[in-house]
Structure 1
Amino acid sequence: MSAHSTRHRPTGLAFALLAALAFGGSGVFARPLLDAGMDPLHVTWLRVAGAALILLPVALRHRDLVRRRPLLLLAYGVFPMAGVQALYFAAVARIPVGIALLLEFLGPVLVLLWVRVVRKDRVSPAAIIGVVLAVAGLGLLLEVWAGMRLDAIGVGLALGAAAAQAAFFLLGDAVGEDADPLAVIAFGALIATVLLGILSRPWNLPWNLMAHSHDLGGLTLPGWALALWLALVCTAIAYFAGVSAIKRLSPQVAGGVAYLEVVTAIVMAWILLGESLNATQLVGAVVIVTGAFIAQIAVPSTPETVPDQATEPATRQVRPPSEHH
């Protein structure tokens, strides 16, 4: 567990909702570029490379972090920023998108297992119930029974994406007070740019699409504006808000609330792209929101601090009970 002295639900939920809005919009703002013929991996590379460029001044300012926390930076770049994207796109090439997305969002379940089995920490029943409901709601929302076909490699790749997603929550909690979260994200984006560049071969990217106009919900936007939104909002701001939520809620609770990202994506697709939901999918969305609400009550609404009476000075604080959830 990280060295955070308190958890705080109100601000944590605010950051979690911001992260859901920012992450959830990635598919909507990427759709015009994808429809224009750009490869998904190229769009992903643009997203992380743009974020790396935007956050480069932050990385330069905190360059000492490379010496102090090299493994954290490497892990953040490999798993949350490059791993989730690469493994998910590899999975959807072999299994239906709905199945792949459902398996990827088993990440919060893996977080619960890690916290309980590996860390030996107590997991709040509210967090468990919330995540289970969210997974069930996601299954309804994606109608995973439609077009079901099994492919062992595809399933394995999707589960790998789930593990990388779980790493996002666990590493976010491990950032600690000695590392600026935005600096960790900046270096993670730089590492992911290199790794995804090897896979996507950006020199083959159709750069001419950046100057072309694209339609988004009746708006006409140039390709570079869509790429900028993906880099700034859907990556830099989204990851920063996500890490800030994790530090204030805990990995397992933040994982439960993160399912709102899927609902956000569906709502934005409905508003901007005209995509609608059927009755089953609406039920699934309600179940996801219910699960996220139940999960977040595992965190006290106000910070709790307790003086250490044994070995620490009176001014030092130990972790509150909520950190053991």
Structure 2
Amino acid sequence: MTEITLHGARPVGAPRPRLGYAMVTAASTLFAVNGTVSKVILTNGGISSLRLTELRATGAFLGLAAFVLVTTPGRLRVTRDELPLLVFYGIVGFALVQWLYLVAIERLPIGIGLLLEFTAPVLVALWARLVWHEPVRRRVWAALALALSGLVLVGEVWEDVRLDTVGVVAGLLAAGALATYYLAGEHQTARRDALSLTCLSLGVAAVFWAVLQPWWGFPFDALGATVSLEGSLDAVDAPVWALCLWMIVLGTIVPFVLSLGALHHLPATRVATVSMIEVLLAALVAWVWLGETLSAAQLLGGAVVLVGVVLAQTSR
């Protein structure tokens, strides 16, 4: 990349780790708040998880596409040979990941739903070791053991009242889809930049949902309704369209751009590791806003899972 130097200033293209950490933290914070915003829409907004995923993917694609077309339109050109993998990546890595996550947080505390999804790096490391036969450090087995042990604590399997089965299955399937997102992303980012890849993948997801559930059946009347923000903000009302706009712009486009921008300043492994603060921040936001609480065993289990994920991140 050509570096542009201002007189007496640091080159524009020079990596700045502190900026990278700030960008990852900001992105994780926005994603964390978005979990609670999305749950309020799902609970009170009269929009199903399928339709909300469709709206999020389509809105984010249109926003990112507008930005790229104005700045560097040539980045969106697609060759015929990359199209099949791009379609697969957009459907599994974007459409299904987002939908399964919404199903999980609709039925589970947000922190637990996100924690289940974030076990994806463990699956990535295991795939690299067992299928691709990559040299992976032995700590991957410790990571797997910690992740499984932590999930047992999170699920409190010794209690009569267990977590919602559909929510747990959705969270684990989201982890599998997210692992696919990482693995296919490694291949795709060798061919094109991350911003255009994200934009095109969201476009695929938008088309996928439009075919599966055409827009003429979308509950547009629900967007005009006014709903309570629930929990500690129960006395505050907001229009559903405003919550959806927040979800698209501040809950998707901006954090995606920040995360991608951080990759210029920090290694991908470090970005992924730091971004795990989203789990903690999401649980904190849900506790302060919605009053969602976790037991001591679940908190301990979450910490154990996160340690396992860190080991998995650094095993490759």
Where in structure 2 are the equivalents of 1:114-153 lying within 5 Å? 114-125=127-138, 129-130=142-143, 132-134=145-147, 136-143=149-156, 146-147=161-162
Instruction: For structure 2, list consecutive stretches of 5 or more residues without a partner in the other structure.
Output: 1-14
- Residues 282 and 256 of structure 1, relative CA distance in 2, 3 Å threshold: same
- Residues 256 and 225 of structure 1, relative CA distance in 2, 3 Å threshold: same
Of 162-171 and 130-139, deviating more is 130-139
Measured in 2, the distance between the counterparts of 1:147 and 1:79 equals 28
Measured in 2, the distance between the counterparts of 1:62 and 1:128 equals 44
Equivalent residue in structure 2 for 1:203, among 193, 206, 216 = 216
Instruction: For structure 1, list consecutive stretches of 5 or more residues without a partner in the other structure.
Output: 1-6, 299-323
Q: Equivalent residue for 1:45?
A: 54
Q: Give per-residue Cα distances to partners, 1:261-291, cap 9 Å, x unaligned.
A: 3332211101222222222222234334544
Equivalent residue in structure 1 for 2:249, among 211, 232, 246 = 232
In the comparison of the two structures, how many residue pairs are matched?
287
Q: Would you say the 8 A contact 2:117–2:172 is kept in 1?
A: yes
1:158: how far off? Answer: 6.3
Q: Helix, strand or coil: the match of 2:134? A: coil
1:88: how far off? Answer: 5.8
Measured in 2, the distance between the counterparts of 1:115 and 1:9 equals 28
Q: Give per-residue Cα distances to partners, 1:214-244, cap 9 Å, x unaligned.
A: 3335244322221122112332234445556
- Residues 24 and 131 of structure 1, relative CA distance in 2, 3 Å threshold: farther
Measured in 1, the distance between the counterparts of 2:113 and 2:85 equals 27
Q: Equivalent residue for 1:3?
A: none
Q: Would you say the 8 A contact 1:58–1:183 is kept in 2?
A: no
Q: Check if 1:31 corresponds to 2:39.
A: yes
Q: Would you say the 8 A contact 1:52–1:190 is kept in 2?
A: yes
Q: Would you say the 8 A contact 1:104–1:165 is kept in 2?
A: yes
1:82: how far off? Answer: 0.8
Q: Check if 1:279 corresponds to 2:288.
A: no
TM-score (norm 2): 0.71
- Residues 275 and 92 of structure 1, relative CA distance in 2, 3 Å threshold: closer
Q: Give per-residue Cα distances to partners, 1:288-307, cap 9 Å, x unaligned.
A: 454455556x3xxxxxxxxx
1:126: how far off? Answer: 5.1
Measured in 2, the distance between the counterparts of 1:237 and 1:132 equals 35
Measured in 1, the distance between the counterparts of 2:86 and 2:298 equals 38
Of 228-237 and 195-204, deviating more is 195-204
Q: Would you say the 8 A contact 2:108–2:164 is kept in 1?
A: no
- Residues 100 and 275 of structure 1, relative CA distance in 2, 3 Å threshold: closer
Measured in 2, the distance between the counterparts of 1:15 and 1:130 equals 27
Where in structure 2 are the equivalents of 1:1-325 lying within 5 Å? 16-36=24-44, 37-60=46-69, 61-62=73-74, 64-67=76-79, 69-86=82-99, 97=108, 104-125=117-138, 129-130=142-143, 132-134=145-147, 136-143=149-156, 146-147=161-162, 160-176=173-189, 179-216=192-229, 217-218=232-233, 219-242=236-259, 248-250=266-268, 259-291=276-308, 298=314, 325=316
Q: Helix, strand or coil: the match of 1:214? A: strand
- Residues 259 and 133 of structure 1, relative CA distance in 2, 3 Å threshold: farther
TM-score (norm 1): 0.69
Q: Equivalent residue for 2:3?
A: none
Measured in 2, the distance between the counterparts of 1:200 and 1:143 equals 37
- Residues 26 and 263 of structure 1, relative CA distance in 2, 3 Å threshold: same
Measured in 2, the distance between the counterparts of 1:11 and 1:132 equals 34
Identity of aligned residues (%): 33
Of 84-93 and 168-177, deviating more is 84-93
Q: Would you say the 8 A contact 2:222–2:240 is kept in 1?
A: yes
Measured in 2, the distance between the counterparts of 1:109 and 1:244 equals 25
Q: Would you say the 8 A contact 2:26–2:258 is kept in 1?
A: yes
Measured in 2, the distance between the counterparts of 1:221 and 1:149 equals 29
- Residues 48 and 139 of structure 1, relative CA distance in 2, 3 Å threshold: farther
Partner amino acid for 1:66?
Answer: V
Measured in 2, the distance between the counterparts of 1:229 and 1:257 equals 24
Q: Helix, strand or coil: the match of 1:221? A: strand
